[in-house]
Amino acid sequence: MATSAPRTLRSPFLMTPSLNSRLPLRSAFSVVLRTNRRAVKPLVVVVSAAALDAKPTVLVAEKLGEAGIELLKEFANVDCAYNLSPEELCTKISLCDALIVRSGTKVSREVFESSAGRLKVVGRAGVGIDNVDLSAATEHGCLVVNAPTANTIAAAEHGIALLTAMARNVAQADASIKSGKWQRNKYVGVSLVGKTLAVMGFGKVGSEVARRAKGLGMHVIAHDPYAPADRARAIGVDLVSFDEAIATADFISLHMPLTPATSKILNDGTFAKMKKGVRIVNVARGGVIDEEALVRALDAGIVAQAALDVFTQEPPPKDSKLVQHERVIATPHLGASTMEAQEGVAIEIAEAVVGALKGELAATAVNAPMVPAEVLTELKPYVELAEKLGRLAVQLVAGGSGMKTVKVTYASARAPDDLDTRLLRAMITKGLIEPISSVFVNLVNADFTAKQRGLRITEERISLDGSPETPLDFIQVQVANVESRFASAISEAGEIKVEGRVKDGIPHLTKVGSFEVDVTLEGSIILCRQVDQPGMIGKVGSILGEENVNVSFMSVGRIAPRKQAVMAIGVDDQPSKEALKKIGDVPAIEEFVFLKL
Ligand SMILES: NC(=O)C1=CN([C@@H]2O[C@H](COP(=O)(O)OP(=O)(O)OC[C@H]3O[C@@H](n4cnc5c(N)ncnc54)[C@H](O)[C@@H]3O)[C@@H](O)[C@H]2O)C=CC1
Ligand SMILES: O=C(O)C(=O)COP(=O)(O)O
C-alpha cells in the first residue's frame, strides 16, 4: 500500500504525529512501512511520495525572498513563474501541489477547479487573504495558510511613514523641489503632537501603529469590535465606538481586514460624520474605502489629506482621480516591502507550506481548525477509530434508505473544553462519505461536504467519572431513520448503532446495535447473527480456512445463552462470494454482512 498510493498526494492534513517534520524523510518513511497495516490511509501518502522522490511541485507566483525559495527546494520542485495571466495560472496549476502568492495574484474559484484536486495548499506570503477565494479552497479540500506575523512591523512603520510624510507634505514638496521650485509657503504642514489618532482595527499592525503614535505624542483611540479592552489599555489606548472614533479623530489610520463587513466602511455617510479637515491613512486594503466618496470628501474639504498604500484595483488606473489628487500621497502597496519583512515572510510561508505538504496541521491555517501537535499525538488512535466507525456505519445502511442524520456520542471523563472533537468529527464524516462517493474528505472540507450532502452530524457528550488519563472511553455513531443491511445493527432506539473503543492504542469495535462484540478494526469484518449454539465459530472458521482467508479476531455477543448472538469476525483478506454464500447457508445463521474498513 505504501508503494501504490504515493503519487496521489491526497490528504496532507491528517498524518500520524510520528511523521513529524523533524524526522528525516527516510526514517519517516520506514515508520510508515512499519505501521502501515493499521495506518489510516491518507496519513501515509505525502511522505511516501517524498521517499520515492516523487517530489511535490510548488508554484511560486510572486516574488518571494530567497531564503524561502531555498527552504522550499529542500522538499519540493519549485517553479517560480511571475506575472502569470489568470489563464496561464489555471493551466499551470493542474501540475502543482502548492501555490504561493502575495497580494497581486487572484486565487479564484477557477484556479481550484482547474487544479482538479491536485492543489493541496495555497500559501499567502503575507497577511491579507482577500485575494484567495476561501470558500472555493475549502470546498476543494485545499488548505490555505498565511504568514501573519513577519510583516507586522513593516506595515506599521509604513503607516507611520505615511502619517508623518502626509502631515508635512514630504512627497509633494519633494516633487516640487525636483522640478526646480522652492515653495516654502505652499508646504506648511500640521503637527502630530497632541492630535487624536483613531486606529481602526486594533490587531497586530494597528496596535504597533498605536504604540508608535503614542511615542510621537499623539492621543490615540481605537475602534475594533473584537479587540480585548485590556490589551488596548495596556498601551494607553481607549477602545471606542466606530462613530466616536471617526467623529473625534484628527487622523484616522485603517488596519482592519477587507471583509464583507468592512468593505467601503468609509463612505459618503461616514465621511459626513468626520471632523472637517480629517486626515486619513490606509495601509490595510483599498476596498475598505469607497474611493469615489473619498475623492468627493477631499474636494468638499471634509478630508484634508489622504495617504494611501492600497487601492481597490491594483495597480490603480493611470488616470485615477484619487491617486492624481494633489492632497493625496500614494505608494504602490509597499507596506510589507522591507528586506527584513520579505525575508521573514518568505521563511514563514515556506515552512507552513512544506509542513502542510508533509501532512502537519498548520499553525497558520486560515480555513481549518488548528490542532496542536500534542493533542494530535494523543488523539491519533481515536482519529483512526472515528473514521472506521464512520465507514462501518455507512456500510450498514441499506441501499436507497438515505442517510440524513448522524449522531456521534463521545464518552469521556475529560472536561468538555479539554477535548477538541473537530478532528474526530471530520474523520467520522470522512468515513461516512468516502465509501459512498467520489468526494475526497479531509479536515478542511469535512463540514462543508457533509452540509452539501444534506448530512446533519450532531455531537453529544457523556461525562464519565474517573481518571481522565485517556481522552475518550468510547465513541458511538448512530444513523437515524434508515433501514439496515444487517437488522441486528439497529439498536433499541431504532437507529443503526456502532460503538468503538481504543484498547492498547488499537481501535476496537465493541458494540453493534444492542450486541456487545470485540474485534480489532483492521482488515475487514464479517458480522453474523445466529442462534447461539456450540460449534458456530468452528463452522464459519473452517469455511474461511478452506479459502485461505486469515481470521484475525472473532468475538460473539449474545443476548442470553442459546438465544440470538452476533458474531464479529475480523478477516485479513476478502473472502470470495462463494465463501460468503456458504457462511450464509449455515442453517443457524439468520443474517450476515461483509464490511470493508
Ligand atoms: N499594506 C501592506 O502591505 C500590508 C497590509 N496589511 C493589512 O493590514 C490589515 C491588518 O493586518 P494585521 O494587523 O496583521 O491583521 P490582524 O488580524 O492582526 O488585525 C486586524 C484587526 O481588525 C479587526 N477588525 C475586524 N473587523 C473590524 C471592523 N469591522 N472594524 C474594526 N476592526 C475590525 C480585527 O478584530 C483585528 O483585531 C489587513 O488588512 C492586512 O491585509 C498587513 C500587512 C501589510
Ligand atoms: O500582508 C499583507 O496583507 C499585505 O498587504 C502585503 O502584501 P504583499 O505581500 O506585499 O503583496
pLDDT tens digits for range 205-246: 999 999 999 999 999 999 998 888 888 999 999 999 999 999
CA of 151 to the centre of ligand 1 (A): 12
Q: Of residues 124, 333, 391, 508, which has the active-site annotation?
A: 333
Do β-strands 564-571 and 524-531 pair in parallel, antiparallel, or remain unpaired? Answer: antiparallel
**Domain for residue 367, yes or no?**
no
Q: In which band, very low, low, confident or very high, does the pLDDT at 36 lie, cut at 50, 70 and 90?
A: very low
Confidence (pLDDT) at 560: 61
The response to whether residue 206 sits with its C-beta less than 6 Å from ligand 1 reads yes
Min mean pLDDT across 4-8, 340-344, 446-450 is at 4-8
Mean pLDDT of 309-331: 98
Confidence (pLDDT) at 24: 28
Q: In which band, very low, low, confident or very high, does the pLDDT at 559 lie, cut at 50, 70 and 90?
A: low
**Domain for residue 40, yes or no?**
no
Test site for ligand 1: of 103, 162, 200, 205, most ligand atoms within 8 A of the Cβ? 205
pLDDT tens digits for range 277-308: 999 999 999 999 999 999 999 999 999 999 99
pLDDT tens digits for range 156-200: 999 999 999 999 999 999 999 999 999 999 999 999 999 999 999
The response to whether residue 115 sits with its C-beta less than 6 Å from ligand 1 reads no
Residue nearest to atom 9 of ligand 2 (CA): 102
Do 128 and 257 touch, CB atoms closer than 8 A? yes
Question: Are 300 and 433 in the same domain?
Answer: no
Question: Are 487 and 586 in the same domain?
Answer: yes
The response to whether residue 152 sits with its C-beta less than 6 Å from ligand 2 reads no
pLDDT tens digits for range 257-268: 999 899 999 999
Better-predicted residue by pLDDT, 434 or 110: 110
Query: Pick from 494, 495, 524: which is nearest to 509 by CA?
Result: 524
Residue nearest to atom 11 of ligand 1 (CA): 205
Q: Which atom of ligand 2 is nearest to the CA of 104?
A: 11
Is pLDDT above 90 for 556? Answer: no
d(CA 522, CA 533): 27
d(CA 371, CA 386): 16
Residue 43 grid coordinates: 496519513
Tell me the average pLDDT of the chain.
87
Question: Are 110 and 208 in the same domain?
Answer: no
Three-class DSSP labels, 6-65: HHHCCCCCCCCCCCCCCCCHHHHHHHHHHHHHHCCHHHCHHHHHHHCCCCCEEEECCCCC
**Domain for residue 14, yes or no?**
no
Question: Are 224 and 348 in the same domain?
Answer: no
Question: Are 569 and 530 in the same domain?
Answer: yes
Q: Which atom of ligand 1 is nearest to the CA of 288?
A: 39
d(CA 508, CA 7): 31
The response to whether residue 335 sits with its C-beta less than 6 Å from ligand 2 reads yes
Do 593 and 571 touch, CB atoms closer than 8 A? no
**Domain for residue 539, yes or no?**
yes
Q: Of residues 102, 158, 279, 285, which has the active-site annotation?
A: 285
Report yes or no for ipTM above 0.95: yes
Q: State how far the alpha carbon of 575 is from the alpha carbons of 364, 432, 525, 537, in Å.
A: 46, 23, 10, 16
Confidence (pLDDT) at 9: 35
Please name every residue paired with 592 in a beta bridge, in sequence order, or none if there are none: 528
Is pLDDT above 60 for 13? Answer: no
Residue 502 phi/psi, 5-degree rounding, is -105, 125
CA of 128 to the centre of ligand 2 (A): 6
3-state secondary structure of 469: coil
Residue nearest to atom 7 of ligand 2 (CA): 103
Who contacts 145 (Cβ-Cβ below 8 Å, separation ≥6)?
A: 121, 122, 123, 124, 349, 352, 353, 356, 362, 364, 365, 366
Residue 156 grid coordinates: 506599521
Residue nearest to atom 36 of ligand 1 (CA): 203
Three-class DSSP labels, 85-135: CHHHHHHHHCCCCEEEECCCCCECHHHHHHHCCCCCEEEECCCCCCCECHH
The response to whether residue 337 sits with its C-beta less than 6 Å from ligand 2 reads yes
The response to whether residue 502 sits with its C-beta less than 6 Å from ligand 1 reads no
Is pLDDT above 60 for 124? Answer: yes
pLDDT tens digits for range 148-163: 999 999 999 999 999 9
CA of 534 to the centre of ligand 2 (A): 73
d(CA 430, CA 217): 56
Question: Are 123 and 187 in the same domain?
Answer: no
Catalytic residue check, 333: yes
Question: Are 566 and 475 in the same domain?
Answer: yes
The response to whether residue 335 sits with its C-beta less than 6 Å from ligand 1 reads yes
Query: Pick from 497, 288, 308: which is nearest to 389 by CA?
Result: 497
**Domain for residue 365, yes or no?**
no
Who contacts 323 (Cβ-Cβ below 8 Å, separation ≥6)?
A: 308, 311, 316, 330
pLDDT tens digits for range 523-537: 899 999 988 777 878
Q: Which atom of ligand 2 is nearest to the CA of 151?
A: 1
Is pLDDT above 70 for 491? Answer: yes
Q: How many domains does the chain have?
A: 3
Residue with cell 491519533: 380
Catalytic residue check, 168: no
Question: Are 325 and 348 in the same domain?
Answer: no
Q: Which ligand is closest to the CA of 210, given by its number?
A: 1
Is pLDDT above 90 for 541? Answer: no
The response to whether residue 225 sits with its C-beta less than 6 Å from ligand 1 reads yes
Q: Which ligand is closest to the CA of 156, given by its number?
A: 1
d(CA 179, CA 186): 15
Confidence (pLDDT) at 370: 67
Confidence (pLDDT) at 123: 98
End-to-end CA distance of the chain, in Å?
14
Query: Pick from 287, 305, 285: which is nearest to 295 by CA?
Result: 305
pLDDT tens digits for range 41-62: 333 233 334 344 589 999 999 9
Angle at 306 between CA 304 and CA 307, to 5 degrees: 150
**Residue 318 identity:** K
Question: Are 485 and 576 in the same domain?
Answer: yes
CA of 335 to the centre of ligand 2 (A): 7
Q: State how far the alpha carbon of 452 is from the alpha carbons of 288, 404, 441, in Å.
A: 32, 11, 12
Q: Of residues 70, 87, 88, 314, which has the active-site annotation?
A: 314
The enclosing H or E element of 214 equals helix 204-215
**Domain for residue 49, yes or no?**
no
Catalytic residue check, 255: no
Question: Are 313 and 398 in the same domain?
Answer: no
Question: Are 484 and 564 in the same domain?
Answer: yes
CA of 65 to the centre of ligand 2 (A): 13
**Domain for residue 103, yes or no?**
yes
The response to whether residue 150 sits with its C-beta less than 6 Å from ligand 2 reads no
Is-above-0.90 flag for pTM?
A: no
Question: Which domain range does residue 279 map to?
Answer: 152-330
Residue 272's CATH number = 3.40.50.720
Do 6 and 55 touch, CB atoms closer than 8 A? no
Question: Are 397 and 432 in the same domain?
Answer: yes
Mean pLDDT of 443-472: 88
Q: Which atom of ligand 2 is nearest to the CA of 333?
A: 10
Highest mean pLDDT among 255-264, 327-336, 365-374, 563-572: 327-336
